[in-house]
């Protein structure tokens, strides 16, 4: 599900007042204690339930100075007089905390950012709509995580840590995609095959493999990064309100889009000659408390570019699917002898082995005894693995 919010005020403020009234009414049915900062409906826990998330989302882009006399922002956690992206992500960082008792603990969780060549179109790609011109390349951007325990809450930026995309040539955006990840409906790929290569940002899910994720796009008034991306250009979100993507799906409902510790951030289809890069902030959390509190991982002022380019694959020479060209181990290494990576060693693997008989260079893990040649000795090892 995809939701875009900007800072248009009138109708949103009316809806917000109704939401706050409903939240307070629901909270009154509980035996409650004094309200804590992030427990906006005072029900004893910070959750998405009872409309609690709608308060910081509804106040996004609203300045307290513009409210009627006697009104105030409910979720201005950083006390800067405006509902901004930092307020939203700070609320998300506390989801799962039991109000007034649990705390969050800051942890390091990110090794860096990784850029991959996902698909190349030397001759272009013709579809029924929006052709990809010759010479374009599709890149994918990932966060290289220290472990898989974290859930991705937000990809964002503001005046202190801008969310930016730089590209000196035209970015491919399919007219059905319009820069939004949730607009890429796999049901349309058969009639609009180039749609799957449209450019977008995401929060660790691939629309091809999983579609039950709430991704909310936040853009401040007069600075819609999504509109700029939909027009095929870069953008810079560098004002105090900020903007980006946030997830309102519980971690237990998320399926990682990639193997290993790579969390999926974006896809870009651009000319191979383009200078591509950007900057962002990322928020990860677990919503699983431990004696030290709920682990949260903030990452600000992250930059990336063509220097982050890696070849993903198996870097273990003893694995059945070893890729000698790989520069980043993506966690896909299979057992020795499992050359087709299906999790089983069978006749299909034997046939692949026999096709490389006599190989002396770049043999993809088929030199099972490591003597520099695929020969009868390796065949005996292979047969012993069956």
Query: Last residue of a domain, which of 102, 123, 148?
Result: 102
* 114 and 213 inside one domain: yes
Residue 213: pLDDT band with limits 50, 70, 90:
low
Domain that holds residue 202: 106-312
Q: Phi and psi at residue 295, in whole multiples of 5°?
A: -65, 135
C-alpha to C-alpha distance for 59 and 77, rounded to whole angstroms: 12
Residue 358 reports pLDDT greater than 80: yes
Decide if 341 contacts 326 (C-beta within 8 A): no
* 272 and 174 inside one domain: yes
C-alpha to C-alpha distance for 261 and 289, rounded to whole angstroms: 21
Alpha helix (H) ranges present in the chain? Answer: 10-27, 54-58, 85-93, 225-230, 347-355, 376-385
Query: Last residue of a domain, which of 259, 290, 312?
Result: 312
C-alpha pair distances (Å), 183 with each of 67, 144, 279, 331, 333: 34, 26, 23, 29, 33
**Predicted pLDDT of residue 372:** 84
* 9 and 93 inside one domain: yes
* 251 and 227 inside one domain: yes
**Predicted pLDDT of residue 210:** 56
CA-CA-CA-CA dihedral for 17, 20, 21, 27, to nearest 10 = 180
**Predicted pLDDT of residue 179:** 73
Collapsing DSSP to helix, strand or coil, 269 comes out as strand
Q: Which residues pair with 125 in a beta bridge?
A: 132
* 251 and 145 inside one domain: yes
Query: Last residue of a domain, which of 44, 74, 102?
Result: 102
| Global confidence as pTM | 0.79
**Predicted pLDDT of residue 107:** 80
Q: Which residue has the higher pLDDT, 256 or 191?
A: 191
C-alpha to C-alpha distance for 71 and 62, rounded to whole angstroms: 12
* 118 and 264 inside one domain: yes
Q: How many CB atoms lie within 10 A of CB 94?
A: 23
C-alpha to C-alpha distance for 19 and 103, rounded to whole angstroms: 26
* 12 and 30 inside one domain: yes
Q: Which residues pair with 105 in a beta bridge?
A: 295
Quick: pLDDT tens for 133-155: 999 999 999 999 887 778 889 99
* 114 and 202 inside one domain: yes
Residue 21: partners with Cβ closer than 8 Å, 6 or more residues away: none
* 96 and 226 inside one domain: no
Decide if 12 contacts 62 (C-beta within 8 A): yes
Residue 258: pLDDT band with limits 50, 70, 90:
low
C-alpha to C-alpha distance for 36 and 43, rounded to whole angstroms: 10
Decide if 243 contacts 41 (C-beta within 8 A): no
**Predicted pLDDT of residue 20:** 43
Average pLDDT over residues 12-25: 45
Quick: pLDDT tens for 361-371: 877 677 887 78
* 54 and 129 inside one domain: no
- If 0-12 CB within 10 Å is exposed, 13-18 middle and 19+ buried, where does residue 72 land? exposed
Residue 255 reports pLDDT greater than 70: no
The CA radius of gyration of the chain, in Å to the nearest whole number, is: 24
Q: Which residue has the higher pLDDT, 308 or 352?
A: 308
C-alpha to C-alpha distance for 41 and 116, rounded to whole angstroms: 43
* 66 and 194 inside one domain: no
* 87 and 118 inside one domain: no
Quick: pLDDT tens for 71-99: 999 999 999 999 999 999 999 988 877 76
Through-space distance between the first and last CA atoms of the chain, rounded to whole angstroms = 46
Average pLDDT over residues 266-290: 89
Residue 165: pLDDT band with limits 50, 70, 90:
very high
Render the burial of 195-219: b for 16+ CB within 10 Å, e for the rest. Answer: bbbbbbbbbbbbbeeeeebbbbbbb
The CATH number linked to 378 is: 1.10.1330.10
For the chain, the domain total comes to 3
């Amino acid at each position: 599900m995809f939701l875009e919010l900007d800072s248009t005020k009138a109708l949103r403020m009316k809806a917000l007042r109704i939401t706050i009234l409903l939240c307070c009414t629901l909270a009154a049915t509980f035996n409650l204690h004094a309200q804590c900062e992030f427990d906006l409906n005072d029900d004893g826990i910070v959750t998405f339930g009872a409309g609690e998330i709608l308060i910081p989302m509804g106040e996004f882009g609203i300045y307290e100075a513009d409210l009627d006399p006697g009104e105030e922002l409910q979720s201005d956690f950083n006390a800067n007089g405006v509902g901004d992206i930092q307020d939203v992500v700070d609320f998300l960082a506390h989801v799962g905390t039991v109000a007034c008792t649990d705390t969050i603990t800051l942890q390091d969780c990110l090794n860096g950012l990784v850029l991959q060549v996902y698909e190349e179109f030397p001759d272009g790609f013709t579809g029924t709509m929006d052709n990809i011109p010759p010479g374009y390349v599709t890149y994918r951007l990932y966060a290289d995580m220290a472990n898989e325990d974290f859930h991705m809450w937000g990809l964002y930026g503001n005046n202190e840590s801008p969310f930016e995309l730089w590209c000196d040539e035209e970015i491919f955006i399919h007219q059905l995609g319009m820069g939004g990840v949730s607009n890429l409906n796999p049901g349309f790929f058969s009639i609009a095959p180039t749609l799957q290569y449209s450019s977008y940002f995401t929060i660790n899910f691939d629309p091809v493999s999983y579609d039950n994720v709430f991704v909310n796009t936040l853009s401040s008034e007069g600075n819609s990064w999504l509109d700029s991306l939909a027009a095929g250009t870069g953008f810079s979100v560098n004002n105090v309100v900020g903007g980006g993507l946030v997830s309102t799906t519980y971690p237990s409902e998320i399926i990682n889009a990639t193997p290993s510790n790579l969390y999926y951030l974006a896809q870009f289809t651009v000319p191979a000659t383009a200078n591509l890069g950007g900057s962002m902030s990322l928020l990860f959390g677990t919503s699983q408390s431990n004696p030290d509190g709920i682990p949260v991982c903030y990452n600000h002022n992250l930059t990336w570019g063509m220097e982050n380019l890696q070849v993903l694959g198996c870097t273990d020479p003893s694995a059945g699917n070893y890729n000698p060209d790989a520069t980043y181990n993506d966690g896909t290494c299979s057992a020795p002898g499992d050359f087709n990576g299906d999790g089983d060693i069978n006749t299909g693997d034997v046939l692949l082995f026999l096709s490389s008989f006599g190989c002396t260079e770049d043999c993809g893990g088929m030199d099972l005894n490591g003597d520099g040649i695929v020969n009868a000795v390796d065949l005996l090892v292979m047969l012993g693995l069956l």
